[in-house]
Amino acid sequence: MQIGRKQPQPYDWETTRRMRARQVKPVPEKISADDAREAATRTEQRYVDRVYTRLDTEREKAAAELRGGPGPGGGSGFQAQVEREVTTTEASRRLARLSAVDRALCFGRIDHRPEDGAPGDTFYIGRIGLRDEDREPLLIDWRATAARPFYTATPGSPGTLARRRHLHLRERTVVGLDDEVFDLDGLTEDDRGSIVGEAALLATLRRGRTGRMTDVVATIQEEQDQVIRSGLQGVLVVQGGPGTGKTVAALHRAAYLLYTHRDVLERRGVLVVGPNATFLRYIAQVLPGLGETDVALATVGELYPGVRAAAAEPPAVAVLKGDLRMADLVEAAVRDRQRVPDGDLEVAADDMTLRVAHEACVQARDRARALRVPHNIQRRRYVHELLDALALNRAEQYDKLVDEPLEEILTSGGVPDWLQELIDEADDDPLLDEADLRVAKEALWQDPAVRRTLDALWPELTPQRLIAGLFSDAGALERVGAGAGLSTAECRLLHRPAGSSWTTSDVPLLDEAAEWLGQDDTADRIRARRAAAERAEEESYARGVLELTGLADEELVDAAELAGRNRDDGPQGTTAERAMADRQWAYGHVIVDEAQELSEMAWRTIMRRVPTRSLTVVGDIAQTGSPAGARSWGQMLDRYVPGRWREQRLMVNYRTPAAIMRVAADVLAAVAPEQVPPEPVRDDGPPPFTARIGRAALPDRLPALVRAELAGIGGGAGEGRLALITSAGRHPAVCGALPGTPAGATPDALDAPVVVLTCEEAKGLEFDSVIVVDPAGIVAESPRGGQDLYVAITRATRRLTVVHDDDLPAVLSALAPTG
């Protein structure tokens, strides 16, 4: 594991390509290529049939276990319940996993070279591992060590491999094979005669888009494999240009880490944070397709349980709310709610006005603040002290009531001896003793007037109440904002009407407030102590049962989990569901995608979710669109893991063909000259087009252009997707020209053959054809220059058209006008 920042290792794409071209030695011409292909396909089909039969058997076994419940040993009572839990939980987990992997279950084969005269091993690689009836490996899980050569062998360093074969399946039928031969002499005579192939990667990349990301488990490349199998500990930054497979590699990494560290991660959970709901829908199928169905996916706006942050707000407000000064603002807002009266505290209770000196109130507040606990817990101390002082004041006033008439008798000189003795004995003892004071204090707390007064001075607060109250109170904003270093103009920017809906950038503020406020959990803690004692008893019983049933060593279920499941006092559900419902859940690993867009405040929220700092941070500094986002990884990460994050760069672009990438490279040189554009794998597709269409002519000409482009990608039926990516200013005109076309990050945006998006909405997505409308507007609107144009251009997998009315921006001068 490398510590500190790693210099980018330029990926030697050219050499690899040249070596690949050289690798296949001529095959003896005994049979025709077609015959060889057919024979090899038949052989592989037989094997694939065995694998699917085994999958079906395993599935049926798991389903039968679920249906059968406890079996003949079933009964009532706790032991039977424990046994049922063990059987059904494991069976349902297995069934979910087995049901999700049907598509392309087996996709690879590796043939090792013979060694010491013995034939080399052959392994088939698949989404999950399967064994045959004799427990012999039938299919190797892609994450297992034995599968690693499938991903790491290159012509330059093949290791012990003689051949790598990709199997292409449609449903359960083998429809294609691709071979990469590393050592022809290492193959048997039969195998030599059955070599087939065209590069599997290119075949995969040329497929039409479906609106959903699919896994690439069959064609993971070596530089991606290093990302995927990097250790669990610490912060790994995956930096790479558009289309370098950062997202897809990070998702495979999640699956790999779950496989390798299942004991920890299945319990603590894995969280994937994405930029918006559409993006999360776009990637949602990848992990289930890899057999992992229990990973939490969320936007930053969904990280605060109970709040759905969906409202829009002006970018300047969002940027300000992402500023680190907001942490000071929240702290100042909390302190602002910890008050003392201007003069003495005066409360009318029953028949008298109770008083506490101003100075005593200040001391009570300072003592409460000195406790290193959150506001709602400090409040208990403050309220107790003031109630003590009020009760004491009541006692003093009672004393006075009694003392005054006594005084009169004393001064008149007519005191009998027995009374004089009593007075001398009583000394200065107050009329109310300790027990009386406690009762008086309790009575005061029950008095609504007293409670209102104390609540106003130091209220019990929820994060929602604090933040909503602050933003809707211009006076408080200015008072508190000044303390946090905000200008008057900035405070005004934050002001909004009471009852406004929550926005995504409010969520880190709510999270921050929750830390400062805490909860008065005295009652909860008493309950928890009682429950812990009961649980300890149940756990010890469950452990006994597991030992009796012989399941204690199987790691399928542990006693604590089992005992926990039998109580109905906690939230039920999968790890992901329970984690998402708990703000203080500590995940075992967190993956942040499009991480360059996260504000400093959003990072604070993320880091709270992963105290162990086991993170994968995925992004491209050159694509940062938000002014609140990252200018460098160090700027965001050094605060939490100074110098202790490692960086891995991806340098090859699997999405955008070379002709489009040449145009994108000019834009990149203008906006981030220090960044190197990724090397495209694909060199197919037509050069980018341009079309000069004024705003007024859009309704006449845009529909025809869209129809022609759709025809060009064979879109409309199942595969083939087109996006119009436009400036915010031109967005209404484009939507108006294409009535009925879905627009924006809506749920159906991914399923429609055509969609209209802004650059921000298009981030992370890809389409067969992209029409960029109003490039000059996009550049003008982009807060950091042309980053958004770079994003828009690099979304295309096959065709790019640029629609403009004014002259093309200078950064697109390489584009020859074509229409």
Q: Residues at the annotated binding site for ATP?
A: 240-247
What gap in Å lies between CA 433 and CA 442, rounded to an integer?
Answer: 14
Residues in the chain: 819
In angstroms, give the least distance from the CB of 814 to ligand ATP: 20
User: Which lies closer to ligand ATP via its Cβ, residue 109 or residue 655?
Assistant: 655
DSSP strand pairing (352-356 vs 235-240): unpaired
Task: Please say whether the beta carbons of 651 and 661 come within 8 A.
Answer: no
Q: Which of 158, 203, 202, 166 is CA-nearest to residue 184?
A: 158
CA distance 247 to 623: 14
**Residue listed under structure tokens 């995940």:** 587
Which residues here bind ligand ATP, judged by CB under 6 A?
Answer: 201, 204-205, 213, 216, 219-221, 224, 240, 242-248, 620, 654-655, 764, 766, 794
Nearer of residues 246 and 604 to ligand ATP, judged by Cβ = 246
For the bound state, the minimum distance from the C-beta of residue 246 to ligand ATP, rounded and expressed in Å, comes to 3
Q: Collect all residues with Cβ–Cβ distance below 8 Å to 569 and sequence separation of at least 6.
A: 531
Residue placing its CB nearer to ligand ATP in the complex, 292 or 620:
620
**CA 396 – CA 455 distance, rounded (Å):** 24
The kind and range of the H/E element at 281 are: helix 277-283
Which lies closer to ligand ATP via its Cβ, residue 461 or residue 668?
Answer: 668
**Shortest Å, Cβ 644 to ligand ATP:** 24
AA identity, residue 86: V
Q: How far is the CB of 154 from ligand ATP (least distance, A)?
A: 14
Residue 312 CB, nearest distance to ligand ATP (Å)? 23
- Can you tell me whether residue 647 is helix, strand or coil? strand
Provide the CB-side half-sphere exposure for 199 (13 A, CA): 13
CB 505 within 8 A of CB 329: no
Cβ-based nearer residue to ligand ATP, 376 or 656: 656
**Can you tell me the distance from the alpha carbon of 330 to that of 336, in angstroms, rounded to the nearest whole number?**
10
Q: Which is nearer to ligand ATP, 220 or 738 (CB)?
A: 220
Q: How far is the CB of 277 from ligand ATP (least distance, A)?
A: 16
Q: How far is the CB of 695 from ligand ATP (least distance, A)?
A: 29
Q: Which DSSP helix (H) or strand (E) runs through 615?
A: strand 615-619
List, as residue ranges, the binding site: 240-247
Q: How far is the CB of 18 from ligand ATP (least distance, A)?
A: 20
Shortest Å distance, C-beta 235 to ligand ATP: 18
- Which residue, chain included where needed, has tokens 């499938």? 150
Copy the structure tokens of residue 746.
Answer: 């809506």
Minimum distance, C-beta of residue 649 to ligand ATP, in the bound complex (Å): 11
- Minimum CB distance to ligand ATP smaller for 389 or for 664: 664
CA 29, CA 25: separation in Å to the nearest integer? 12
User: What's 289-346 look like in SS3?
Assistant: HCCCCCCEEECHHHCCCCCCCCECCCHHHHHHHHCCHHHHHHHHHHHHCCCCCCCCEE
State the minimum distance, in angstroms, from the CB of residue 624 to ligand ATP.
11
Supply the Cα-derived Rg of the chain in whole angstroms: 35
Q: Minimal CA–CA distance to 326: which of 496, 518, 510, 476?
A: 510
DSSP state of 115: B
Which one, 655 or 731, has the nearer CB to ligand ATP?
Answer: 655
Contact 19, 156 (CB under 8 A): yes
Locate 460 and state its tokens: 């019990």
Asked if 113 and 186 count as a contact pair (C-beta separation under 8 A), the reply is yes
φ, ψ of residue 650 to 5 degrees: the values are -105, 130
What is the rounded CA–CA span in Å between residue 630 and residue 601? 12
> Whose Cβ is closer to ligand ATP: residue 557's or residue 651's?
651
User: Whose Cβ is closer to ligand ATP: residue 712's or residue 764's?
Assistant: 764
Give the shortest CB-476-to-ligand ATP separation in angstroms. 41
Cβ-based nearer residue to ligand ATP, 205 or 789:
205
SS3 at position 93: helix
Rounded-to-integer distance, Cα 199 and Cα 594, Å: 30
Q: For residue 71, give the nearest of 717, 759, 788, 549 by alpha carbon.
A: 549
> In sequence order, what DSSP letters do the residues of 398-418 get, joined into one string?
HHHHHHHHHHHHHHHT---HH
| Cβ closest to ligand ATP, residue 220 vs residue 507 | 220
